[in-house]
Amino acid sequence: MTELEKLCENALYDEIRVLEDGKSFVRDVPTGKLYFKKTLDVYNEHVYAYLREHKNRNVAGIQAYWKDGDKLVVIEELIQGRTLDEILRESEGNDQNASETNGLAFADRIDCLTQICDGLSFLHSADPPIIHRDIKASNIMVTDDRIVKIIDYDAAKIYIAGQDKDTMMIGTQGLAAPEQYGFAQSNVRTDLYALGKLIERMLPGNVDAKRIAEKATEMDPRKRYTSAAQMKGQIQRIREHTSALDQRLEKIPGFDPMNKSHRVRARIALAGAVVAAVLILAGVVWGLFVYPARQEEAIRAELSTMQQYEVKDVQILTAVEEFAGEHPYQRMNAGQKQAVRDEMEAVMKRCFKAGKSENANQIRDILTNHYGEEATWKAVHSYAMAGWDFENDRFEDGLGALYEQKEAGAVDAQQHWEAGTALTLEKAREYTADFKESKAYRKIKLIANAYMALEKCGAGQKEEFDAAHEQFLAAAEAEKKAQQWSNARLIYEQMQEAGAWNSDELSELIKETDYEEAEAAFAKEDYNEAASKYSALGDYKDAAEKASESIYRKAAREAENGSYSAAVSSYKSIPGYKDSDERARETQYEYCENTQEEPTDTTYEYIAELVDQGYEGAEDLREEIYKWHVSVSTGMAYSFGSMQSAFIRAKLSGGPPDGSTTITFRIDDPTGNDSDTWSDGKEYKSGETAEANYSEEDSTYNLFDRSYKIWIYADGGEQIGYWEGMMSTEF
């Protein structure tokens, strides 16, 4: 940003109140809105760029920013409220009930934590993710209407895939994750570690909160929660009070007091010790109805979270790995298994769509390793790939994959096959309608491929395909009648590329179309186009003869228009045709005559060729061409009082090829009976210019008011130019 741009940006904001450390309250001049302004020494500009363009209810918004030298000036949303740290300190300084009157009640604390999770989910969903790296109570604002906002992105960074560790160690001691001290690169789990520390402070003594915090603050990031959304789900399950029974049962290995099903089953087990019959009945009811329903709900809920992961990232692989490890496939009912297969197919398809087929392959392998049933997951992988093929109109690949699974009797194969054939037929009909309505000729190949794929797999629609074939041919004929040759040719070429019909017949139709186009061009006397079209047809019908005639007529027109070189080239391209050879020589001779005083390279080429062929008059013409000629021009070199000087320029032309000569100037002043001769002794070639200066210091007359005669001589005194008149006063 230039200094002027900085001044303009600053001018938009009036300082209302200056705080410490370069911070202040400012007012937006156009709108009158208040904002918070700060100047940063340490920052990540990409973070502020993203937050300026993307807003979220739980993240302080960025209005503007600009660089000032090595610093970054930020205009941030002004939040009316207090920091969470202030609220918690107020609660911690009073008695137990003070938290509900002066601070935060239990429900408010849970709501505050879930809003923080929402804010982190927003930051982590950026591409690439934004890592805050300093989540703590003093960086959380709570507005007067209980809206929680994450502030202070000074330590935030962009997650860079493949980076070993952070370039700068930033964070708050005691709250920062181990990787922030240089052991590894910060990622989304770094913020979840800090959130775990905040849970410890906000819900001290709560058994459920302690368990969540312990998982979130594991030293090994891989053992922590995978996302803020996952933590939010756990936080919402925290109970304010736990029973003494749950605290005792917590000592049992595998018992999870936060899991409602665990608590219910534990109480049923205790009750069963008293009343065995009731326990058996309750167990049967639970096993048949309650647990499967709840288990299916949990499975579907976790599967739905798969949609939030970016399939280009390794996080999707971690999520699938964790899901497969937590939910044994063999213990699921048919509905649950179907839900898992459907979701995994959708995830793999997203991988193919994102160009990450290797991730789809790894997901297939993860499921096979955990669940076995290799054929099942191979089939799901094939269904996903086929779905992507259909989206890209690769009907043969898509149907082929589904047909293979159907023949192998794979799970879900019949349903996918029926859906695939229906989709292929629908696309074929849709594209055929487009062809008829909007001349979508380039879809011919897609239409043919769709019908051919159906036929190959035994689901063909021959009558429809034959009808489409007739429509293509009729459309081509209509385009030819309208002299839209390129459209007709496109139809035939698309049919030929599809490979569904006789290629030789289509090649013949293409040639016939090109011949008709050439005939039309010839009739319009567009001989250049006609010659091109006829020549491309080779020995088709009389195309070669008509190509020569077109070129012959084109050459005659070029000669008439003075395009001699083009005419000669055209005549020479049809040697032996009519009198083209003689016409070529006549045109060459005429060109040489027209350019004999200022010959070109082409002039020398043509005259040499004509002399070699003994063309009548060529020898004499060559002598004229080889003579030197000059064109003379004059002008004022300077004029200062009695000091006057004129320049005389002689531009050389003609002469023998690659020849050179000296140039001598003789200047006669008839009025003053004066004569001067001058030469610089240099050798000049055709196209080069020699210059002489004629000066006078006599103040009795004006050099440019007299008439002069100028003779130009070449080597041996041969006169090659003459000029007479008054010197020009142009500089």
Question: Per-residue DSSP letters for 609-669?
Answer: HHHHTT-TTHHHHHHHHTSEEEEEEEEEEEEETTEEEEEEEEEEEESSTT-EE--EEEEEE
**Model confidence pLDDT, tens digit, residues 598-650:** 999 999 999 999 999 999 999 999 999 999 999 999 999 988 877 899 999 99
Residue after which a domain boundary falls, among 241, 262, 281: 241
Q: What is the pLDDT of residues 207-241, one digit of tens each?
A: 999 999 999 999 888 999 999 999 999 999 999 88
Q: Express each pLDDT in 106-155 by its tens digit.
A: 999 999 999 999 999 999 999 889 998 889 999 999 998 999 999 988 77
Last residue of a domain, one of 78, 104, 131: 78
Confidence at residue 353, expressed as pLDDT on a 0 to 100 scale: 92
Contacts 24+ apart (CB under 8 A), 294-300: 294/261, 295/332, 295/336, 296/333, 296/335, 296/336, 296/339, 299/327, 299/332, 299/336, 299/339, 299/340, 300/339
**What is the per-residue pLDDT for 351?**
93
Together in a domain, 377 and 301? yes
Give me the CATH number covering residue 675.
2.60.40.10
Domain identity same for 488 and 547: no
On whether residue 482 sits in a domain, the answer given is: yes
Q: What is the mean pLDDT of residues 666-675?
A: 83
- pLDDT score recorded for residue 181: 72
Domain boundary at 241, 261, 281, which?
241
The dihedral formed by the CA atoms of 95, 98, 102 and 105, expressed in degrees to the nearest 10: 130
Q: Provide the pLDDT for residue 90.
A: 86
Decide if 584 is inside a domain: yes
Judge contact between 266 and 256, C-beta under 8 A. no
Residue 549 lies in a domain: yes
pLDDT for the residue numbered 611: 97
- Supply the pLDDT for residue 176: 73
Specify whether 473 is located in the same domain as 409. Answer: yes
pLDDT at 416 over 90: yes
What pLDDT, on a 0 to 100 scale, did the predictor assign at position 100? 44
Alpha-carbon gap, residue 579 to 582, rounded angstroms: 5
Give the pLDDT score at 290: 45
Considering the domain architecture, whether residues 387 and 490 belong to the same structural domain is answered as no
Q: Are 453 and 486 in contact (CB under 8 A)?
A: no
Confidence of residue 99 (pLDDT cuts 50, 70, 90): very low
Q: Are residues 575 and 634 in the same domain?
A: no
Query: Do the domain assignments include residue 300?
Result: yes
Beta bridge partners of 42: none
Q: Are residues 232 and 110 in the same domain?
A: yes
User: Worst-scoring range by mean pLDDT, 17-26, 138-147, 333-342, 631-640?
Assistant: 17-26
Confidence of residue 470 (pLDDT cuts 50, 70, 90): very high
Nearest to 80 by CA among 24, 19, 15, 147: 147
Query: Regarding predicted confidence, which is higher, 286 or 164?
Result: 164
Quote the pLDDT of residue 649: 97
Q: What is the pLDDT of residue 174?
A: 67
Question: 224 with 92, same domain?
Answer: yes
Q: Are 113 and 184 part of one and the same domain?
A: yes
595 has a pLDDT exceeding 60: yes
Query: Which helix (H) or strand (E) segment is 606 a member of?
Result: helix 601-612
Cβ neighbors of 144 (< 8 A, separation 6 or more) are 80, 81
Q: How large is the average pLDDT for residues 290-307?
A: 71
pLDDT value at position 14? 86
- Nearest one of 343, 347, 341 to 362, comparing CA atoms: 347
Mean per-residue pLDDT, 472-496: 95
CA 466 to chain centre: 40
pLDDT value at residue 639: 85
Q: Is 657 exposed, middle or buried (0-12, 13-18, 19+ CB in 10 A)?
A: middle
For residue 102, the model assigns a pLDDT of 46
Residues 614 and 637 in one domain: no
What is the structure's pLDDT at 6?
A: 62
For residue 279, what pLDDT is reported?
46
Quote the pLDDT of residue 312.
Answer: 84
Residue 101 shares a structural domain with residue 233: yes
Q: Is the pLDDT at 177 greater than 80, yes or no?
A: no
Number of folded domains that form the chain: 6
In this prediction, residue 161 has a pLDDT band, given cuts at 50, 70 and 90, of low
Question: Would residue 260 count as lying in a domain?
Answer: no
Whether pLDDT at 282 is above 70: no
Residues 227 and 215 in one domain: yes
CATH number for position 73: 3.30.200.20
| From 163-172, 299-308, 378-387, 646-655, the region with the lowest mean pLDDT | 163-172
pLDDT of res. 709:
95
State the pLDDT at residue 377. Answer: 96
| 304 vs 309: CA distance, rounded Å | 10
Q: What is the pLDDT of residue 101?
A: 39
Residues 6+ apart with CB under 8 A from 553: 525, 527
pLDDT per residue as tens digits for the range 510-525: 999 999 999 999 999 9
pLDDT at residue number 162: 54
C-alpha gyration radius of the chain: 46
Whole-model pTM above 0.85?
Answer: no
Decide if 520 is inside a domain.
no
Q: Is 268 part of any domain? A: no
**Residue 524, in any domain of the structure:** no
Q: What is the pLDDT of residue 252?
A: 58
Query: For all residues of the chain together, what is the average pLDDT?
Result: 87
Residues 387 and 398 in one domain: no
Answer yes or no: are the C-beta atoms of 13 and 75 closer than 8 Å: yes
State the greatest distance between any 2 C-alpha atoms of the chain, in Å, as a whole number: 150
Structural domain harbouring 224: 82-241
